[in-house]
Amino acid sequence: MATVYRSVGGKKLSKVIALSKGVQAELTTRAFEIAVRAEEILVQHRADGHSQIEVESGKVDRFVVLSDERGQKAALSIEYGRRASVVIREDKHGNKYLDAIPAMDGLYVLATASHLPKKKGKVKVD
């Protein structure tokens, strides 16, 4: 009968496996593939070129990110869409006016590129 240890050298077995060179190389490869697919999808819809796809690395994981930091900070709306709304804006002279923002369907860039199901409905933002 085999003995299965929960830890190796004081580290959990799952972390030892996750940090192995082979697993880390595969995570990097998969993140790159997802990022390339996401960029292809985003380029098809990009109007002004502010949004971009980035790959970030954590201690164990890789993250493919839809960033709109340079634009209108609308990454959530780009991915999931938005309802029509009206906002009060102010011009450079201090005059206030109503601005209608049309509804927009989500592009599901990350979900599609990752081969994940598209989740429609309300998105909670804390």
- Residue 122's pLDDT band (boundaries 50, 70, 90)? low
Please give the Cα distance from 125 to 107 (Å, whole number): 18
**Side chain identity at 110, as an amino acid letter?**
L
Residue percentage of the chain with pLDDT more than 70? 91
Coil, strand or helix at 4 = coil
Structure tokens that stand for 9 in this block: 């050298």
Record the pTM. 0.76
CB atoms closer than 10 angstroms to residue 41: 19
Environment class of 35 (CB within 10 Å of its CB; exposed 0-12, middle 13-18, buried 19+): buried
Helices (H), the chain: 13-18, 21-45, 75-80, 109-113
